[in-house]
Amino acid sequence: MDLPRALSHSSISMYTECPLKYKLKYVDGIPEKPKHFFSFGQSVHLALEFFYGGKGPAAPSLEELIQSLKDNWVSTGYRDQAQEAEYFLQGKDILTGYYKKHVKGFTPPLHVEYDFKLAVEGVPVTGKVDRIDRLPDGKLSIVDYKTGKALAVDRIETDAQLTMYQLACESGLGAEVGQLTFYHLPLLKPHSVGRRPEALVSALRSRIVDTAAAIVAERFDPKPSENACRWCDYKAYCPVFSKAPEAAPAPSADGDLAALIDRSGDIPARAAEAEREAAEVKAAILSILRRKGYVRAFGARYEIQRSGVEKVEFSEHNKKKVIRLLKDYGLYEKVQAPSGPLIQKLLSDPGTDPLLRASLRELGSAVEPSDLKVTPL
């Protein structure tokens, strides 16, 4: 087969992690489920692209930067609206801190979201570099923003993503790279290293070529590991996780009337027992899903999904504050009573100002949805 598409840092990493996962995503085209941490990272990246991407020499204002976060907010993949509101506030805090730290020394970068395409021994490779600056000595400085809570600082010296960016920028822009940086946004901390040595660049070139050869040769064995499988969306397609369904029970041969009568007599007791067991199992599943923060999980033969609408209730004390808040936003006429279904509608409306949603959630208490949908795999 041919390569299904140009390689990128993330597709090479996925192939290395589990070739079957790569195949399901890039060859079979089965999309992964949206993840809140990708949506959050994308939203903050878009706001920083706005910050640096203007053509003029001056930075936009802080208000404009926060507005760009609102305008570019990616809502998919969050567990619920409370989690989304929490992340929006986190994004706002990060950008406010970033703005205060960097607005004074603002210089328009050489490139923002620089798209590159290169060929490594005929293998096409693409990617995007968050920011490229020009250092005083004329060399390039490459910056990659990280929005995850933790950053493995020890990987900066060897990380293949930065090596790939060096390779791409030097071949595309014709200038030497002098500095490579992972900028850890939650802590507003840049971690910089110098140019990669030739040995690392050459190892990356070999890895690109070897990965392409393995894909073309259709080597797609599953490679289970705790890390790879824990967050993998493809368990339903993966032989490591599928089991043959148990044999159905043999049909009863007893057609005797007395036996039917006895069975009939037993049914209500069995139904009550099944109902009790179902309630017990449901409570245990909901408790585990809540603890782990999952909305969906898989057994060997069924998947289960939390459904229903989360509600927010307000104490008598907070209702006055909610009314004031709604009046400030000019929405009181629309909602009329802070505990009514209309306010729930306001909370679930993606067009509602994220700050208003976050403030309303702070004043109320969330009543989690407790419906479970069970579907055979």
Interface with ligand SF4 (CB under 6 A): 18, 20-21, 222-224, 228-229, 232, 234-235, 238, 240-241
Q: How far is the CB of 21 from ligand SF4 (least distance, A)?
A: 4
Closer to ligand SF4 by Cβ: residue 79 or 235: 235
**Residue 268 to residue 264: CA distance in whole angstroms:** 8
Residue type for 247, please? A
Q: How far is the CB of 35 from ligand SF4 (least distance, A)?
A: 15
Are the beta carbons of 22 and 229 closer than 8 angstroms?
Answer: no
Q: What is the dihedral of CA 232, 234, 239, 242, to 10 degrees?
A: 90
Closer to ligand SF4 by Cβ: residue 2 or 226: 226
Q: How far is the CB of 375 from ligand SF4 (least distance, A)?
A: 19
What interhelical angle do 9-17 and 160-173 show, nearest 10? 150
Closer to ligand SF4 by Cβ: residue 232 or 312: 232
**Residue 325 to residue 355: CA distance in whole angstroms:** 11
Closer to ligand SF4 by Cβ: residue 197 or 224: 224
Q: How far is the CB of 119 from ligand SF4 (least distance, A)?
A: 29
**Residue 330 to residue 30: CA distance in whole angstroms:** 44
Q: How far is the CB of 292 from ligand SF4 (least distance, A)?
A: 17
Are the beta carbons of 74 and 147 closer than 8 angstroms?
Answer: no
Are the beta carbons of 137 and 26 closer than 8 angstroms?
Answer: no
Closer to ligand SF4 by Cβ: residue 59 or 229: 229
Phi and psi angles of residue 338, each rounded to the nearest 5 degrees, phi first: -65, -15
